[in-house]
Amino acid sequence: MADLNQLHDAVLNGDAKTAKAVTEQALAAGHEPLKLVQDHMMPAMSEVGRRFECNEYFVPELLLAARAMKGSLELLRPLLAAKGNEPVGRVALGTVKGDLHDIGKNLVGAMLEGGGYEVIDLGVNVTPEQFIAAIKDKKANIVAISALLTTTMPAMKTTIDALKAAGVRDQVKIIVGGAPITQTFADEIGADGFSESAAGAVSAARKVCLA
Ligand code: B1M
């Protein structure tokens, strides 16, 4: 029987081995993959962030927690992304230039795949040129940009402006998200859609494509 508090604590303590083992046990016991993420792993990462703010945790602890979360997510990702038939759209997904946070972005990717989208994951620290290349060469029709730092939020606008300058802005819908991003900010920078959660990114993608 999986003790899900152990999953929370393993992520919080950066114990990747236990996080993976408890995730495996929880899946075998029939727990919902999304609930494991939302109810146990994400609260642990919030607590990691709180401890970092209070100088109880430092960058090494952040890295260990992130590694523990990523290890479990590797097991959950294929389950979050149920198999569909024809992709309903092709998404160029990335964390904006200057920003190295990818856990939320990876969750967004898994949820979009689960929603039937083909995801071209450009990774982290993605330059406007990389997004433009994905639109031109890989025929992405949605651009999904994540940012976790207040200092990298402006790079979202730089990216949108670069898409306009390259003449590809009208070929795509753009959705943005990440902890510091709001609907107001999304409107200000000229994005088409916004979601505050990974699951919500799927409805945001659907909504912008219908608009
Ligand atoms: Co960093 N970090 N970090 N960090 N880190 C934060 C973001 C911070 C809030 C911590 C804090 O101070 N409390 C803070 C930012 C403060 C600010 O900007 N105001 C911060 C800082 C300061 C930094 C550094 C500058 C620290 C330093 O070096 N001094 C540095 C910056 C490096 C860089 O990017 N250039 C840094 C580095 C790192 C690590 C590399 C050590 C590591 C990241 C590892 C990795 O991602 N592979 C890390 C981590 C782990 C965090 C915290 C603790 C956790 C982030 C996370 O993964 N959350 C974070 C504190 C926190 O969030 N509480 C913090 C879990 C994840 C599931 O949530 O990413 O929010 P999140 O994604 C959510 C939603 O936001 C949404 O869906 C997801 C699921 O619902 N979402 C989207 C995300 N993208 C979306 C896109 C969408 C739609 C929804 O549409 C396209």
The more confident residue out of 90 and 59 is: 90
Q: What is the pLDDT of residues 127-169, one digit of tens each?
A: 999 999 999 999 999 999 999 999 999 999 999 999 999 999 9
At residue 70, the pLDDT reads: 86
Q: How far is the CA of 101 from the centre of ligand 1 (A)?
A: 5
**Start-to-end Cα distance in the chain:** 47
Contact by Cβ (8 Å): 48, 41? no
Which band of pLDDT confidence, cut at 50, 70 and 90, is reported for residue 102? very high
Domain at 90-210, CATH from 3.40.50.1220, 3.40.50.2300, 3.30.750.24, 3.40.50.280: 3.40.50.280
Q: How far is the CA of 148 from the centre of ligand 1 (A)?
A: 5
At residue 190, the pLDDT reads: 98
Q: How far is the CA of 98 from the centre of ligand 1 (A)?
A: 12
Q: Which helix (H) or strand (E) holds 136?
A: helix 128-138
Kindly report the protein residue whose alpha carbon is nearest to atom 12 of ligand 1: 53
Residue 106, CB-side half-sphere exposure with 13 Å CA sphere: 18
Among 132, 109, 104, smallest CA distance to 120 is for 109
Contact by Cβ (8 Å): 97, 133? no
Pocket probe for ligand 1: among 103, 148, 174, the residue whose CB has the most ligand atoms within 8 Å is: 148
Pocket probe for ligand 1: among 51, 62, 96, the residue whose CB has the most ligand atoms within 8 Å is: 62
153 lines ligand 1 (CB under 6 A): no
Within 10 A of 130 (CB to CB), how many other CB atoms are there? 15
Which band of pLDDT confidence, cut at 50, 70 and 90, is reported for residue 84? low
At residue 187, the pLDDT reads: 98
At residue 30, the pLDDT reads: 94
197 lines ligand 1 (CB under 6 A): yes
Which band of pLDDT confidence, cut at 50, 70 and 90, is reported for residue 1? low
66 lines ligand 1 (CB under 6 A): yes
Contact by Cβ (8 Å): 205, 89? yes
Contact by Cβ (8 Å): 4, 22? yes
Question: Which range has the worst mean pLDDT, 8-22, 58-72, 133-147?
Answer: 58-72
For the chain, the structural domain boundaries read 4-82, 90-210
For 125, residues 6+ apart whose C-beta sits below 8 A from its C-beta are 95, 97, 98, 99, 100
At residue 162, the pLDDT reads: 98
Q: What are phi and psi of 54, to 5 degrees?
A: -90, 10
Q: What strand order describes the sheet that includes 173-177? A: 118-121, 90-95, 142-146, 173-177, 193-194
CATH class of 4-82: mainly alpha
Q: How far is the CA of 39 from the centre of ligand 1 (A)?
A: 18
